[in-house]
Structure 1
Amino acid sequence: MKPSTTAERLQEAMNIRGLKQVDVLRLAEPYCRAYGVNLGKTALTQYVSGKIVPRQDKLTILGLALDVSEVWLMGYDVPMERKTAPIPMEEDERSKEFVELFNQLSTEQKKAVLYVMKGFLEKQ
C-alpha cells in the first residue's frame, strides 16, 4: 500500500520548492519538447487535485521538472531525491549536436578533433 497519493506528493514537492503550477509547467517545458510529451495546464491541475493520476510519461516529465524520484512521486515510501541528476537540457542538446557533427567527420578529422580535445584537457 502506498502511504501517499500522487496528488499529495505533487503538492508536497511544489510546497517544498515554493512553486506554483505555472512554475512546474515552465520547468517541464524543455523536457516535454525533448521527449515529445504534452503537459498542459488542465492536466496538471487534475493531477494536483487528484482527479486524474498521470501516466508514466507524464510522471517522468514531472519528476524531471521537480527533480524528484518518479517512484516517490507515485506515493511510495522511497527517498524523494532522484538517484541521478537530470542532464540540463542545454548541455544534453549540445552533446547531441557534437555527436552528430563528429559522426560526419572523416577518420582523420576525428583523430584531429580528439587530439585537440585532449590538449584542452591537459591544460586544465
Structure 2
Amino acid sequence: MGDKETCAKRIKEALQLRDMTQADLCRTTGIPKSAMSQYCNGGLVPRQDRTYLIATALNVSEAWLMGYNVSMERETAPASLEEDGRVGEFVGLFGQLTAEQQALIIAQIKGILSAQ
C-alpha cells in the first residue's frame, strides 16, 4: 500500500477524532447508511461528490480523507458558516434534489440576496 492510507481507515479515524458515529455522518451528509457502511468497511470508495460531503462533515481535507500524506486540516470558508454544520447539511440536502429542484433553490437564494 506504500505511503497511502485507505479512505476507510481515514473515515474511521476522523469519526473517532470528531466523536461522531456513522449514523451521525449519514444524517449530516444525507448519504444512505448502506453506502456509508461500505465506505467505512473498505468495500467501496466514495465518489468525488460524496468525498466532499464526508470531508466537509468531518472537517478534514478531501486529499487527507482519500489517504494522501497531506495535512488533515481543511481549508474552509469563514468559520462562522461551518461552525454549526449548516454548510455540510445544506450540501447534503442539496445533493439529494433533482436538477430542477436545485435550479429552483438557486433561484430562490439569488432572489433573497438581490432583495437585501
TM range (shorter): 0.5 to 0.7
- The two structures have a TM-score, normalised by structure 2, of 0.68
Residue 16 of structure 1 corresponds to which residue in structure 2? 17
Would the alpha carbon gap of residues 3 and 22 (structure 1) be closer, same or farther in structure 2, given more than 3 Å must change?
same
1:74 Cα shift? 0.2
Residue 59 of structure 2 corresponds to which residue in structure 1? 67
- The two structures have a TM-score, normalised by structure 1, of 0.64
Residue 94 of structure 2 corresponds to which residue in structure 1? none
What letter corresponds to residue 52 of structure 2 in structure 1?
T
What letter corresponds to residue 42 of structure 1 in structure 2?
S
Q: Unpaired segments of 5 or more residues in structure 2?
A: 92-106
Match of 1:80 among 72, 78, 94: 72
Q: Unpaired segments of 5 or more residues in structure 1?
A: 30-38, 106-112, 114-124
1:2 Cα shift? 4.3
Q: CA RMSD in A?
A: 3.0
Q: Distance in 2 between matches of 1:77 and 1:62?
A: 18
% identical equivalent positions: 40
Match of 1:100 among 76, 91, 111: 111
- How many residues end up aligned between the 2 structures? 95
Residue 53 of structure 1 corresponds to which residue in structure 2? 45
Residue 40 of structure 1 corresponds to which residue in structure 2? 32
What letter corresponds to residue 27 of structure 2 in structure 1?
R
